[in-house]
Chain A
Amino acid sequence: MAAPTTARGTRLPPEQIGYLVAGPGRAAETALARLLDADLVRVSRDGLVSAVHQTELGVSTAVETFILVNLRRAVRFDAVVRNAAKSAEMRTLHQQLRARRLTRDPRPRLAAWWVFLAFGVLLSLLAFLEPWTLFGAVAFLGVAYWTFGAKPLTRAGRAALKDVTASDRVLTVALEGFRGRIGNQSVGELFGLPQSVVKMLPRKKRKARNGGAASAAGCGSGCGSSSCGSSSSCSSGSSSCSGGGSSCGGGGGGGD
Chain B
Amino acid sequence: MAGIKDLGVGIGWRSEIDLTVERLPGVDFVEVVAENLHIGHLPESVTLLLERGVPVLPHAVSLSLGSADQVDLHRVEHLGAVAEAVGAPMVSDHVCFVRAGGLDSGHLMPVPRTRDALDVLVANVKLAQRNLPVPLALENVAALLEWPDGELSEGQFLAELVERTDCWLLVDVANLYANARNIGTDPERFLDEIPLERLAYVHVAGGEQNGDIYHDTHAHAVLPEVLEVLDELCSRVAPPGVLLERDDNYPSDTEIAGELAAIRAVVNKHRG
Q: A residues bordering B, Cβ < 8 Å?
A: 39-40, 42-46, 48, 50, 52-54, 74, 192-194, 230
Contact = CB atoms under 8 A, between A and B. Distances in A.
Interface of B: 15-20, 23, 43-45, 249-254
Given A45-B44, A192-B23, A230-B23, A53 B15 contact: no
Nearest to B25: A231
A192 B19 contact: yes
Nearest to A48: B16
Nearest to A46: B15
A74 B16 contact: yes
Contacts of A54: 249
Contacts, number: 40
A47 B169 CA distance: 37
A39 B20 CA distance: 11
Contact of A52 (B18, B19, B23, B252): B252
Given A40-B252, A42-B16, A230-B23, 11 more contacts: A42-B17, A42-B19, A42-B250, A42-B252, A42-B253, A43-B19, A52-B251, A54-B249, A74-B16, A192-B19, A192-B23
A194 to B, nearest CB: 8
A186 to B, nearest CB: 15
B18 A44 contact: yes
A53 B251 contact: yes
A54 B248 CA distance: 12
Nearest to B18: A45
A52 B17 CA distance: 10
Contact of B15 (A40, A44, A193, A230): A44
B12 to A, nearest CB: 14
Contact of A50 (B16, B18, B23): B16
18 contacts: A40-B252, A42-B17, A42-B20, A42-B250, A43-B19, A44-B16, A44-B17, A44-B19, A45-B19, A45-B43, A46-B15, A48-B16, A52-B250, A52-B251, A52-B252, A53-B251, A192-B23, A194-B44
* Most chain B CB inside 10 Å of its own CB: which residue of A44, A48, A192, A193: A44
Contacts of B19: 42-45, 192-194
A92 to B, nearest CB: 29
A121 B43 CA distance: 61
B208 to A, nearest CB: 14
B232 to A, nearest CB: 32
Nearest to B48: A45
B32 to A, nearest CB: 14
Contacts of B249: 54
Nearest to B23: A230
A135 B251 CA distance: 68
A39 B253 contact: yes
Contacts of B17: 42, 44
B250 A50 contact: yes
A230 B251 CA distance: 17
B254 A45 contact: no
A80 to B, nearest CB: 15
Nearest to A193: B19
A54 B250 CA distance: 10
B45 A45 contact: yes
Lowest 5 CB-CB distances: which A-B pairs, in order? A39-B252, A230-B23, A52-B252, A45-B18, A45-B45
Nearest to A229: B23
A51 B194 CA distance: 41
A97 to B, nearest CB: 31
